[in-house]
Structure 1
């Protein structure tokens, strides 16, 4: 046994070393896209990230950052932490597999393992651990600074710890393992709640070990108990801590008149004292069981366990149950009390790391999301209240609407009290909390277990409905789904598309790294076996596949080998009689709770912003256990043919070790992020486009987090004030924007704090004079009486923005109007203007013509909200200062937030639009600044050193964005006659962002067109040849699809054909011979598409060819040969219209008239 333990220990650490080397070699060199930039920044400077925070991650990551004094290496340190934690996950997985497999191999005996059995067990551990090491999802998380690597390690650790307890359960001190597990659980709350899903598997191990003859009934009761423990942690202790603490805080501050946090301090003292009391009574020789029970009751009450939810009736029931349980005879003994209190204490010790959140928030750190400075805001932060609630067991559907009474008022289902600190108007004002109520409204069309839910106010509403039609088969968006439709969506989308697809990525193969949309060309799982991928999965012909589908480093083939080995492991486990079945139930619980249970809980809507496979890594971890067991199962099967047990086990292990080696060969290229710095460089590029002390508006994750990383971690351009418009809707964010941040001065907002906090600045109706007059005319009100219905002096065709803001800042601006605007402020015009002091502005620096007025057209807006009012206030105050402080929008901000300034006041400087008070020159491109920024200041994410580095889809999209604005710069330079600079910009763009790194599309065609215009024909043709070859190969594969598959890929076909049309238009201008060849080919394609049922594409081709030929005819001047050629092309297109699409011909004829 000692020999086996030594081998097991050494082998485990060997696997750890392999995993650590693999992950450390492939970590990203800086911060990654999405949340990584925020997590690294908050860890480095101990700031407050998005809810619910991750304080344990922050603290450990901060420790790793202490190993470097170079801010540029901070991200590498945090990424290295993820790599090492992931390697520890693999270590614990190895020991978990060998523990479970050893029991299966030994059967009912408890003897020394034979050499053959040892080989089988160690081989199982090696294969299972290495398969998971090289699996797609886990490797992705292992090389970036996010919480999921840490969370996976804690999951692996607690599961391994309960197996250690199982080995030592008969020892007197075995409870120490349970207490340690509880402590890890407490710590895990400060990383991610996914770890709590291990509890059912842990409870099942405990039950099977403590029960001599486990039964299904006992197992079911244990399972219910484990769910109860999850509820206690998730809905008792975590929110209960702030709930009970809040009651103390309210009493001490509002009733006793004491200072903020005094009540919380008393609460914490009482909570700790009650637990210590309970431990003393259960440990000391002077202890008393009755007092111990009282202390136990106080402890669970103060911890919030008895106050789950918001119903007082539920609390009464829970208190009653607790009283019965505590004081009934023989229900509690000293050992149970001591173990319970020890576990509660260590959970709270782990959970206490959350104290860093309000502590750092109170320090007003530059990143202080939600500003959770007190127990009430911390409770909201922990409960993720800003994200709303997703219906799980019962709730709304996509067809649900608010129920209204006879007077049209919304009916309230319940009201929740919330508390916030009073907004003080003087230093002497006493501390106090103000109560407000948050109403939850009644909805119709609710149902049990709703899977299809959304609301018209949600940004993705249209996509959600389309997804429900595609995956759920709904036909009426105003009618709630049937049970069959509901279940259809659950299985088709939530289970199959959003779980099973991810599962098979890891154990069968992955088509590519393009985000899936349900089509056959993006992000599907594959096997690598042609007849399965084509004939069964329906992914089209598997020879000469379109380059845009398979010319992708994320194209990985495992031939289902890991999956099949896992099936063998399951069968082997189940065949090992009672112990095997018990072991299976434990692993299955881990597999289910970290997989399908999460699917049911998340209840995701269609078309998520990104792939979500990382959420199910624990489930893939569990399956890797079965993959490992498959080696032992295969070895046992080989014993039918090979009598030597050691030889059979060796052959099985050696053969199965080829599986993770093959996986490594497939997945290395799309998980090796070494040398990639694109996320960091993107943030720096945005900031480089801004003048000193400028203001930069951003909105989404990937145009904000990289900027935060660049500033907070690497200290780059900290003079720029990054302002996220989605946060600017909140009062706490306005607070932060009004503080100094490094070298960046506060935003010039003049609102008083007591005015922008609350309803006064939350929204304002936009009501124009024309709107009022139209209503009055409809009601036959004579114009001479208009003054009786609205304030004719306030409502004007246009009003000065400065005057408007002075009125709105009072919080009481409500000029009379015939509408029911209640207490909401009113903007009495939809056209605002700023009066510009033209003599005081350096117009050359803005690259714009002077203008005496700058107009802000609110258009059809019925209301503006806090972020828009703050923007308007900024503009008014910046104008007062004669535009000395530059202000910008990131180019990726939603156009709806542009305040309609893009039409006449935007000037491109690279990746940002500068708001200029005059009329921009050069088509809205400041060529001097943009050229300098993009040519001299921009960084290229490592592509300039190695064009073969791996770029995932997010990175490729960013490269396409860079190309887009390079094209705009080049076009503007050509228009200005700066051809040398245009050629230099073209050469730069095609050198640092070659097609080898990111395949060219329309962006490359526009580069080629620019080269043609500049006389660089050879460079243009090289680009065109490269793009044409790819397009022809793509369309050649699409042409071989079945009609159904072609319908599924219509968007892809449309995109490729559109590129062909663009190429044709370029050749029409610069190469007439190729133009004719391409036009003939397009007309032939149009005919083919009509015959294949893709009439939409055929129509697009014919319309474009016809329009192009007409333009070419009129551009040909006196060239009769060219005119005849264009005329012939047009007639061919019209003839095909008449044959295949008379409707299009009719529409075309009407449009020409």
Structure 2
């Protein structure tokens, strides 16, 4: 057994070396999109990231960031090392998957008998299965995606795999070494506690652990002791949940009765197994309630009374520690006196989780340090509790609730404490909406009635979104269909098949009937054509898309074989593993209750389910070995090596297919996009941004790489809350504080969340007819604490008297603010501001305050990606400078119909030309043939729009050469190898045709014609239904390109190019004789 153990250990380390090497080679070298930039800067300076904080990730990441900072003066090394941490976490996780697969396979071959003889072929087959499982787990597309970026999901994968491995070590330890086994059990629980400082995925392993505990201990020990403990803990957790005292008593009584029943009766084995599974599920809720939320809740309860009695802030920590410590002491004392092993294990488990969970204190400590990025400012328990509860993201009904047609009937308001001058006072509230009673249902899946979602639900129901909902719908049948069609079919099964069958492309898929984007494929033509239409004429850029991955169903089929073999050999262990597979896949999907359409694909949260299936892929090796050996009486190591080599084809396919779209080693696009944004604005500027991908990369560039730290980035998605407004009052790196008129006390909590119009002098006068006032006077009105009584006994702090507001321009102050007067533009006397005639929200008030207080002090910009509603009618008074729109004291009519936001106001052509030609960088997409994730599309579209508008204005001014230089720069920066030329490239060719310089862009025109011909050939080969549902607009675009290319080349005088293009588009010459596609 010693040699067997060494071989199996070696197999795991081989998996680690291979996976770590591949993943480290493919890891991103700088920040990335979405939350990655935020987590890297959080790790670098131990800053406070978005809820629920991930403090352990940040602490470990800090060590990696420090090493990167030490080894190089290049600040991108910091990001590279944090990203590399994710690669190593994934490699270790894959190693644990290999070891777990080996142990489960060995159990399936020999049972629990330690003395059972294991043949050489079996040893090799089991080791080969572990190798296959580990490699498969690391190279699935969803795992690999997270493995190359500094986000929490790779570390979460590591902790989940380690938890499962520790649980299996407990389970496989012989009964005569129980003391060692129980150490592994407690270690697995400790891993769950540690993972709470990263991500809560590992907590879902609890049912698996509970089932293994039952299978190992067997009999009444579980029901009479552990079952009672679970019951007692669950009853205690009910005391910390929301609800009336009576409902809590009823719940506790029910739990006590069930616990007594289970302890008093001898249940059959299958019933005991079910009880074990249910107990595991209950344990998830117990840990969540007693620890994750319970500890800060108890702290909150003590804190309010003690601090308001005159003690210092955080005094409530002491009695909280004493309370939990005292309860644990009593539990340990009881276990010692009564020799109760169950109580001892339970107490040890809770203690280990509490010790691990103490890392949450890092969040409060760093929030108190007022770090530059301090999300939610959880510097005391009243702000920590909603932070950990993720309350800002809202709640989704799971058991019973409204459907999307239900109308709001009332709101339940719960007052919330906040820290004010060393005391806790009611400063905010939590609003819980209440809906029509007759439009609620059990297990609501279609619940989201916010703007846009009802129409999407109707589409999934097969209804016309523009038509009223038929009477009696959505019904419970519609609800269940949506569960299976969208949530389980589209948001789980599709992702599952991406990982084990193949992926059509990297486009985000929104609808199952859209056969163009995000579907799963096999690579087997006739099977794919059954679902995705004719593939005979598939364009080369579709076929060669790096994100098009095909595994020919092999991982799926091998996994199915391993699953069947495992279920036949060790049914109980298979059921435990199946429970883990279901809970981390289907369970998460049901719990998250996802609406259509999500901002991005969500496959990365389901990796727990995927790595379990990889274990079954690995078990296909001993399954094939046993099958062949039994059928053909073959023996020996050769058969095992052959079986291993056969199944090893699956991970080899996965790594070779996935490499080109997961290798980010040359990507610098997120950092470069942020650089382009920041370099677009003047010194000490304020820039309003909107979404995650317009903010986190900018924060990363400033906080980690030191790019333009004088610029203050103000996120309009966050500015509606007091804590974020307060952060603006602090200096951030080289950026001075932002001057604000409204004080911290005036914007605290619920104050000025919603300020309504009311004219005290003429209450009947409509807002639009009220006399105009300046912005300065308007802000004075908002700053005046009028404290007016209204119905219901409430007091509103202020109102505003008019919506006719203008920012008066003071000519005497323009000399000190030269950015307000672009050269050659006449200065206006005032700038009108659009004010809602009904009410103003806190974010709008903050924007107005920033503009009013800083107009002459600092340049103010809006990112071109902001929502137009946030411009507040200022579009004509802006000037396009790179990727930002600067607020000026001049007026230029906007051209937003042609350019959207980029067309707002005027344009600084010379500055844009300099930025585009000499300052902007392109993420290496201009140099390296690589895969460009579709998440970059908005950034690329923004840069393209700036280039297009600048070219157009230069052409209008007769500066053709500089316009064409920008065109040349565009095609160099966004080459066909990474951005296949189609409609976007066609638009950028306009200056070449207008100026008669078609020869200068001949290569681009020819490539565009070839791409268009291929696409049109493909679209013509499709069934009409598929064409209209999946490629309607792309087909019309292709027809427009072909028509315009032919017509414009006929007028260009370039006969050689015309003949070349007409030869390529010979099947579509008729389009030039017909009216344009409308």
Same fold (TM over 0.5): yes
2:427–2:748 Cα contact (<8 Å) kept: no
Moved more, 703-712 or 844-853: 844-853
How far the C-alpha of 1:893 sits from its partner, in A, is: 1.0
1:763–1:824 Cα contact (<8 Å) kept: no
2:1046–2:1069 Cα contact (<8 Å) kept: no
1:636–1:649 Cα contact (<8 Å) kept: no
CA distance in 2, matches of 1:21, 1:487: 45
How far the C-alpha of 1:5 sits from its partner, in A, is: 0.6
CA distance in 1, matches of 2:128, 2:925: 41
Gaps (5+ residues) in structure 2?
221-267, 894-902
How far the C-alpha of 1:571 sits from its partner, in A, is: 1.7
1:416 correspondence with 2:431: no
2:428–2:750 Cα contact (<8 Å) kept: no
1:983 correspondence with 2:964: yes
Q: Which residue matches 2:226?
A: none
1:803 correspondence with 2:857: no
Q: Which residue matches 1:406?
A: none
- Correspondence list, 1:319-358, <5 A: 333-358=339-364
How far the C-alpha of 1:450 sits from its partner, in A, is: 0.6
**TM-score normalised by L of structure 1:** 0.82
- Correspondence list, 1:233-312, <5 A: 233-254=287-308, 256-276=309-329, 278-279=331-332, 282-283=335-336, 288=337
User: What SS class does the counterpart of residue 874 from structure 2 fall into?
Assistant: coil
- Aligned CA distance change for structure 1 residues 262 and 468 (closer, same or farther; 3 Å): farther
Q: Which residue matches 1:1116?
A: none
How far the C-alpha of 1:802 sits from its partner, in A, is: 1.1
CA distance in 2, matches of 1:914, 1:878: 13
User: What SS class does the counterpart of residue 948 from structure 1 fall into?
Assistant: coil
User: What SS class does the counterpart of residue 191 from structure 1 fall into?
Assistant: coil
Q: Which residue matches 1:704?
A: 695
Q: Which residue of 506, 519, 527 maps to 1:524?
A: 519
Q: Which residue matches 2:171?
A: 166
Q: Which residue matches 2:642?
A: 651
Q: Which residue matches 2:529?
A: 534
User: What SS class does the counterpart of residue 715 from structure 1 fall into?
Assistant: coil
Q: How many residues align?
A: 1003
1:942–1:949 Cα contact (<8 Å) kept: no
Gaps (5+ residues) in structure 1?
290-332, 404-409, 425-429, 770-785, 1088-1100, 1106-1128, 1138-1143, 1145-1153
Q: Which residue matches 2:248?
A: none
- Aligned CA distance change for structure 1 residues 172 and 107 (closer, same or farther; 3 Å): closer
1:855 correspondence with 2:831: yes
CA distance in 2, matches of 1:898, 1:666: 45
CA distance in 1, matches of 2:835, 2:472: 33
How far the C-alpha of 1:548 sits from its partner, in A, is: 5.3
1:736 correspondence with 2:748: no
Moved more, 923-932 or 55-64: 923-932
1:468–1:474 Cα contact (<8 Å) kept: no
Moved more, 200-209 or 93-102: 200-209
User: What SS class does the counterpart of residue 989 from structure 2 fall into?
Assistant: helix
- Aligned CA distance change for structure 1 residues 620 and 737 (closer, same or farther; 3 Å): same
- Correspondence list, 1:687-726, <5 A: 687-726=678-717
CA distance in 2, matches of 1:927, 1:1069: 30
* Coordinate RMSD, CA, aligned: 3.2
How far the C-alpha of 1:200 sits from its partner, in A, is: 1.0
Q: Which residue of 198, 204, 208 maps to 1:197?
A: 204
CA distance in 2, matches of 1:610, 1:13: 35
1:433 correspondence with 2:421: no
- Correspondence list, 1:1073-1152, <5 A: 1133=1075
Q: Which residue matches 1:442?
A: 434
2:913–2:950 Cα contact (<8 Å) kept: yes
Q: Which residue matches 1:1090?
A: none
User: What SS class does the counterpart of residue 688 from structure 2 fall into?
Assistant: strand
1:373 correspondence with 2:379: yes
**Superimposed CA distance per residue, residues 214-240 of structure 1 (whole angstroms, 9 cap, x where no aligned partner):** 821111000111011101012332111
User: What SS class does the counterpart of residue 438 from structure 1 fall into?
Assistant: strand
User: What SS class does the counterpart of residue 862 from structure 2 fall into?
Assistant: strand
How far the C-alpha of 1:1084 sits from its partner, in A, is: 9.7
How far the C-alpha of 1:666 sits from its partner, in A, is: 1.1
How far the C-alpha of 1:1063 sits from its partner, in A, is: 4.2
Q: Which residue matches 1:750?
A: 741
CA distance in 1, matches of 2:452, 2:49: 23
CA distance in 2, matches of 1:212, 1:970: 79
- Correspondence list, 1:101-120, <5 A: 101-107=105-111, 110-120=115-125
- Aligned CA distance change for structure 1 residues 962 and 220 (closer, same or farther; 3 Å): same
CA distance in 2, matches of 1:166, 1:201: 11
**Superimposed CA distance per residue, residues 935-980 of structure 1 (whole angstroms, 9 cap, x where no aligned partner):** 2221211234x33133111134433332221111222222233333
- Aligned CA distance change for structure 1 residues 506 and 253 (closer, same or farther; 3 Å): same
- Aligned CA distance change for structure 1 residues 595 and 759 (closer, same or farther; 3 Å): closer
User: What SS class does the counterpart of residue 630 from structure 1 fall into?
Assistant: helix
- Correspondence list, 1:979-1128, <5 A: 979-1049=960-1030, 1050-1060=1032-1042, 1063=1045, 1066-1067=1048-1049, 1070=1052
User: What SS class does the counterpart of residue 487 from structure 1 fall into?
Assistant: helix
Q: Which residue of 570, 580, 603 maps to 2:593?
A: 603
How far the C-alpha of 1:1078 sits from its partner, in A, is: 10
- Aligned CA distance change for structure 1 residues 759 and 854 (closer, same or farther; 3 Å): farther
1:85 correspondence with 2:66: no
Moved more, 974-983 or 907-916: 974-983
CA distance in 2, matches of 1:860, 1:567: 60
How far the C-alpha of 1:163 sits from its partner, in A, is: 1.1
CA distance in 1, matches of 2:1025, 2:982: 26
Q: Which residue matches 1:886?
A: 859
User: What SS class does the counterpart of residue 754 from structure 1 fall into?
Assistant: coil
1:847–1:926 Cα contact (<8 Å) kept: no
Q: Which residue of 775, 786, 791 maps to 1:812?
A: 786
CA distance in 2, matches of 1:7, 1:182: 28
How far the C-alpha of 1:473 sits from its partner, in A, is: 14
User: What SS class does the counterpart of residue 67 from structure 2 fall into?
Assistant: coil
**Superimposed CA distance per residue, residues 296-337 of structure 1 (whole angstroms, 9 cap, x where no aligned partner):** xxxxxxxxxxxxxxxxxxxxxxxxxxxxxxxxxxxxx53333
User: What SS class does the counterpart of residue 696 from structure 1 fall into?
Assistant: strand
- Aligned CA distance change for structure 1 residues 96 and 815 (closer, same or farther; 3 Å): closer
1:662 correspondence with 2:667: no
Q: Which residue matches 2:232?
A: none
CA distance in 1, matches of 2:461, 2:794: 37
Q: Which residue matches 1:31?
A: 31
